[in-house]
Amino acid sequence: MGMIWEQVCFNDEHKGCLNVKIILDGVEMTYDKDVEQKIDASMKQENRVIRSLTVNDIDMLNASLSEVLAEPAEGKVVKIETCPAEELLWEAMRDARQYIPKLQEGLPLIRVRLLEGSVNAVYNMVDAALEGLEWLGLTFQAFMSQGESPQLEEIFTREYGRFSSILKELEIALRANRLEAACEIFEQQVAPFLDKLLSLADEIMEEAPAKEKK
């Protein structure tokens, strides 16, 4: 990362000298009280973001860097892999493009489960669909915020604004346990929105660097 890391051992009056290692993009560092600030400053300077974070080779999928570094322990090995922010955004958009058809295929199954009388399955599938829709929205918003495609950003903003009202209708139906109405919303309103989102993703990926289209 173009940085020469100062390797020091952080002496805590209660813990003594801890053998904690931090490996940042293949560069080994030793824990010290300012290590998080050093990493943050370096990533900000080089416009990089964390791609993966592990502790003793265990993926810390939902943990932040602060949480991982907050509790040093003897023999703890923290591995951090970073990448350019733009690269991660393109990867996320490619993942979104691949995920949309899977979500589209799953929506009709909600009604199937309802007709079977599997109410718990219906709610589980609805929850999964809503999580997927939320992830798609956040992914597109993060990508658009970089100003890569101003015209497409305008289209997304318009469509997502309309989709917000659809979500409100869906929430009302679910709160009232009107599952038939919820199915209709998924089929008649969410499905067309996903069609538009898929077309938008296709247009975005047409502008992607060659390596990101693979």
Strands 77-84 and 21-24: parallel
Q: How confident is the model at residue 169 (pLDDT cuts 50, 70, 90)?
A: very high
Provide the mean pLDDT of the chain.
86
Is the per-residue pLDDT at 28 higher than 50?
yes
Determine the straight-line distance between the first and last CA of the chain, rounded to whole angstroms: 26
Instruction: Reduce the DSSP state of residue 98 to 3 states and report it.
Output: helix
Question: pLDDT tens digits for 33-74?
Answer: 888 998 999 899 888 989 899 999 999 978 889 998 888 888
Question: pLDDT tens digits for 147-165?
Answer: 767 888 888 999 998 999 9
- At 11, give phi and psi (nearest 5°): -90, 115
Extents of the domains making up the chain: 11-75, 87-213
